[in-house]
Amino acid sequence: MATVEVDQDLCVGDEICAAMEPEIFEMRDDGLAYVVDGQEEVDGDMVAAAREAADACPVDAIIVEE
């Protein structure tokens, strides 16, 4: 189990996370990434997926905490 957050103050809207892991991240009308409703806590393979997206984010806007 891990919690997933996006810091919209850091996000630059390049859509990398949403393209990599659309089950966890989505782009909203403001052009920034958000965690999909209901995915604020993830389990199993989704933890690794969230971490991969966090590693790929160029501005470290994705926070994954176990």
Residues 2, 3, 5, 15: which binds ligand SF4 (CB under 6 A)?
15
Least Å from the CB of residue 63 to ligand SF4? 10
To the nearest whole angstrom, how small is the minimum distance from the Cβ of residue 10 to ligand SF4?
7
According to the binding rule CB under 6 A, does residue 64 interact with ligand SF4?
no
CA distances from 23 to 19, 47, 51, 53 (A): 10, 12, 13, 12
Rounded to whole angstroms, the Cα distance separating 11 from 44 reads 26
Site residues for ligand SF4, window 23-42 (CB under 6 A)? 33
